[in-house]
A and B are shown apart, each in its own frame.
Chain A
């Protein structure tokens, strides 16, 4: 067998699978070996069914052998965040509440992956119910950053980001409610994309905040993200908020540079709070674009400083309602010690949920309660519109908006767990895209002196994913940050 498939860029992996230089079973086996070797130090996976994965791979190999048509991800292993339902596989959401929950149905994205002949290689770890920015809120253990295992990988899609960064999977799906794809991608030095709200169906995505949640791809390079997005995007009649517009061939157009690209630089995203090392790397990325003929323009997002407050009111209000169904009656954890029905509810929920989830449910219940709903929930919805208007105005003049993904590089495990608010503030640059429903992508643009990845975020107007991917690819082609992988990936 040729060089270890896990070391190959996705495009080469696919080329060799198509040329049948090695089989999907071989590739899948190498990734499974990588998981058993590397994951004990990372904690990216919650559930890996080796036999099931190999069976899928062999089925695809058989299809190929028989000369039957195969999907665009034929034989490629894809890791899935433990928040998207796949019939017969556990979906714990990193919560004790759903420790034993096995959905009887497939989410839309999983159906799409099956149609594309992808191999579902495993379920990835996450902050409980996607609430968290560090990967420390999982009921089943923390996930560590492959670049420095004393540090957090970011969250809430901690496992998916770490799995791809450590080359334990070439592709992974995550969900992004306030930055949960882009932030861990940035902190792990890979590509992560949050599509426009409505671009990818949420059917079967276990909800955190329904009006903000969106599923998106992780990959080691932009073309990989384009390919995976192309496979999962599109209208789904089972999701009332899924938008019915055609899906461009992202993987075809991604290599085409954009002539006369106008890049907006949001003044507010380079203000105090931004670590100088990060600021420097992001400015260098902007310089790269300039050298490629792009035009840089300052833009203003005056309401962006209100984004975090707005987000934590809307997201927790919706979450308090979305998580009301976990009451120990129809599924999920039921306490053993209780008297009345009400006590059963309270004990089951008290035991099933972790501290951060409880905190957000409490905040949301309060923000929606009589006498406070107007002051908190409704007020936040009004500010949300102002934030959206800022972007609409900005995108009248520019094609994309570029800036940092996070104010700092990956911090140490436990560093912020005692101070929820300071943890929330780390989402400052990613959260607005969810409130406004915009697409955003995070790509590698450098490393700190300590060797930690730094991310560049690009955002575009709704449904401009194609433009976003092409712009991201321009930078990637001119640099080689994406070729770097953590030491653990070559063990």
Chain B
């Protein structure tokens, strides 16, 4: 699987990563090498094998619907890069 710079840019935009031209070039090389390596998995016939999502396969882990104290607002906003003391602030979201 050969990744072109165009492929890399498309993935980078999906990943919301700003990448320099230099990074695009090295990423194309590295990712192509890694994808080439992982192709060994195609040697294995996995028809009918149930994918294993969890290392320990539990089910029905639930909590009761009872209130737990929330964080004070100051704590909730304490790590915000920008806030007005009430809300997180972000650059204007263009809706339409």
Contact = CB atoms under 8 A, between A and B. Distances in A.
Interface of A: 100-102, 104-105, 196-198, 211-212, 237, 240-241, 243, 303, 305-306, 308-310, 312-313, 320, 324, 327-334, 338, 340-347, 349-351, 353, 355, 358-359, 361-363, 365-366, 369, 376, 378-386, 388, 420-421, 424, 434-437, 462
Contacts of B31: 359, 362-363, 366
A105 B68 CA distance: 14
Interface in B41-86: 41-44, 46, 49-56, 58, 61, 63, 71, 75-76, 78-82
Contacts of A197: 55-56
Interface string B1-45: 001000010011111111100010001001101110110111110
B88 A329 contact: yes
Contact of B52 (A237, A327, A385): A385
B54 A385 contact: no
B70 to A, nearest CB: 11
Given A309-B38, A341-B94, 5 more contacts: A104-B78, A197-B56, A313-B41, A349-B15, A435-B55
B80 A331 contact: yes
B49 A421 contact: no
B96 interface: no
Contacts of B41: 306, 309-310, 313, 379-380, 383
Interface of B: 3, 8, 11-19, 23, 27, 30-31, 33-35, 37-38, 40-44, 46, 49-56, 58, 61, 63, 71, 75-76, 78-82, 88, 90-94
Contact of A331 (B30, B34, B81): B81
Contacts of A437: 54-56
B94 A309 contact: no
Contacts of B50: 382, 385
A362 B14 CA distance: 9
Contacts, number: 163
Which secondary structure dominates where chain A touches chain B?
A: helix
A394 B79 CA distance: 48
Given A196-B56, A332-B79, A237 B16 contact: no
Contacts of A324: 16
B88 A381 contact: no
B33 A421 contact: yes
Given A198-B56, A383-B41, A320 B15 contact: yes
Contacts of A383: 41, 44, 46, 49
Given A329-B88, A362-B31, A379-B46, A350 B55 contact: no
B74 to A, nearest CB: 9
B56 A366 contact: no
19 contacts: A198-B56, A198-B58, A211-B53, A241-B54, A241-B58, A241-B61, A313-B38, A332-B81, A350-B19, A358-B19, A359-B27, A359-B31, A361-B17, A366-B3, A366-B35, A369-B11, A383-B49, A388-B52, A420-B34
A119 B76 CA distance: 27
Contact of A376 (B18, B38, B44): B38
Contact of A382 (B34, B52, B56, B93): B52
Contacts of B42: 379
A366 B79 contact: no
A326 to B, nearest CB: 10
